Amino acid sequence: MTAGTPGTATTAGLVCAHHHLYSALARGMPAPPRTPTDFPEILELVWWRLDRALDLDLVRWSALLGALEALERGTTTIIDHHSSPLAIDGSLSVIAEACAAVGVRVLCCYEVTDRNGPDGARAGLAENERFLRAGGRGFVGAHACFTLSDATLEAVAGLAADLGVGVHIHVAEDACDTAAGARLDGVARPDWLLAHCVHLDRPLPGTIAHNARSNMNNAVGYARPARFANRVTLGTDGIGGDVLEEFRVAYARLREDDVTATPELPWTWLLAGSELVPEAAADRVTWAHPTADPWHLAYTPGVRPLEVVIDGRTVLSDGRPTLVDPDEIRAGAAQAARRLWSRM
Ligand SMILES: [Zn+2]
């Protein structure tokens, strides 16, 4: 099968502009002690219990499975936002190595936060600095303004400026973080990556990563990303690595808000990922579908790639990864998931 085969269409590589690979083993985990009733409780009762149970081996299996699932859906680049408060040091290298093994490009960051005390914040800053100074690719990560003191936010912004990279941060995802606009005004820079911006009350410089499905799942409201002049990209926020599916959901959500909207707009959001990571534009994904027209794809679920070429190397052929055994990764990840749940 080669590009140009009848019944196929070829596009650039897709970019997931906001992912949490560490959530890949969450599916099937034990229910929280009680049902969360709002976004802060979802964080406290679900995600902050999960991330505290991660060790480096579990981080590795999460990243292998997440990278595999992205590749199998034509996503050639993952912009990851990582948290493992009891296994911080070295975690970004573990993720980068796992993605390299699968053949998927990754931009890493560690989410700095004050929710685990001052030592946790310092260790998070140090992991970003260690990884980036060693030549790793990514951002300086920060959780969200509502878990960051002014001093820590200043340290995050300062480190990113020193290293010549942007900050990847959750911004006003829920009404609990509406102060983010005021706190980041004058601090955010054009190279920052702003995830969500659902309740953002003012324009900020940077790229917006829109995560329509996650926002619905957490009942935080509709972000209306088109209200800002910023570049908009699409992320899964950890719900798999299928950005083409995320395009469909973003279109459905946009359309629910404005019945005159057309899929061309969310299609520009999908393609804008390669403005953040220009090599993705040279990646080649050949789809088992005769056209890559947004009107077709918006109404055609399940379109999958047959071949994926990243940095000139064929990493998916006839729908199968070429560098790794997907069955081995799934079996190892299933075992790792059981170990993770027992630690929670
Ligand atoms: Zn997120």
Q: Where are the alpha helices (DSSP H) in the chain?
A: 39-42, 48-52, 56-71, 91-102, 117-133, 150-163, 180-184, 212-217, 243-257, 264-271, 273-276, 294-298, 326-343
Question: What's 135's domain CATH number?
Answer: 3.20.20.140
Taking the centre of ligand 1 as the mean of its atom positions, its distance from the CA of residue 97, in whole angstroms, is 21
Cα–Cα distance measured from residue 32 to residue 44, given in angstroms and rounded to the nearest whole number: 10
Would the pLDDT of 2 be above 90?
Answer: no
How many Cβ atoms are within 10 Å of 196's Cβ, its own excluded?
29
Sheet holding 9-11, edge to edge: 9-11, 284-287, 305-310, 313-317, 320-321
Q: Is residue 283 part of a domain?
A: yes
Q: Is residue 3 part of a domain?
A: no
Q: Is residue 82 part of a domain?
A: yes
Taking the centre of ligand 1 as the mean of its atom positions, its distance from the CA of residue 15, in whole angstroms, is 15
User: Mean of the pLDDT values across residues 252-278?
Assistant: 97
Q: Is residue 194 part of a domain?
A: yes
Taking the centre of ligand 1 as the mean of its atom positions, its distance from the CA of residue 81, in whole angstroms, is 7
Taking the centre of ligand 1 as the mean of its atom positions, its distance from the CA of residue 202, in whole angstroms, is 20
Q: Is residue 302 part of a domain?
A: yes
Q: Whole domain around residue 106: which residue ranges?
A: 9-343
What kind and span of H or E run contains 286?
strand 284-287
Sheet holding 232-234, edge to edge: 111-112, 140-144, 167-171, 193-196, 207-210, 232-234
User: Mean of the pLDDT values across residues 269-287?
Assistant: 98
pLDDT of residue 1: 46
Confidence of residue 5 (pLDDT cuts 50, 70, 90): confident
Taking the centre of ligand 1 as the mean of its atom positions, its distance from the CA of residue 149, in whole angstroms, is 19
Would the pLDDT of 4 be above 80?
Answer: no
Taking the centre of ligand 1 as the mean of its atom positions, its distance from the CA of residue 170, in whole angstroms, is 6
Average pLDDT in the chain: 97
Tell me: the pLDDT tens digits for 146-205? Answer: 999 999 999 999 999 999 999 999 999 999 999 999 999 999 999 999 999 999 999 999
Amino acid 52 reads R
Taking the centre of ligand 1 as the mean of its atom positions, its distance from the CA of residue 171, in whole angstroms, is 9
Q: Is residue 327 part of a domain?
A: yes
Count: domains in the chain: 1
Taking the centre of ligand 1 as the mean of its atom positions, its distance from the CA of residue 315, in whole angstroms, is 27
Q: Is residue 260 part of a domain?
A: yes
pLDDT of residue 336: 98
Taking the centre of ligand 1 as the mean of its atom positions, its distance from the CA of residue 20, in whole angstroms, is 6
Tell me: the pLDDT tens digits for 113-142? Answer: 999 999 999 999 999 999 999 999 999 999
Tell me: the pLDDT tens digits for 197-232? Answer: 999 999 999 999 999 999 999 999 999 999 999 999
Q: What are phi and psi of 310, to 5 degrees?
A: -120, 125
Give one DSSP letter per residue of 56-101, joined into a string: HHHHHHHHHHHHHHHHTTTEEEEEE-B--TTS-TTHHHHHHHHHHH
Structure letter (DSSP) for residue 43: I
Taking the centre of ligand 1 as the mean of its atom positions, its distance from the CA of residue 194, in whole angstroms, is 10
Cα–Cα distance measured from residue 53 to residue 340, given in angstroms and rounded to the nearest whole number: 6
Q: Is residue 2 part of a domain?
A: no
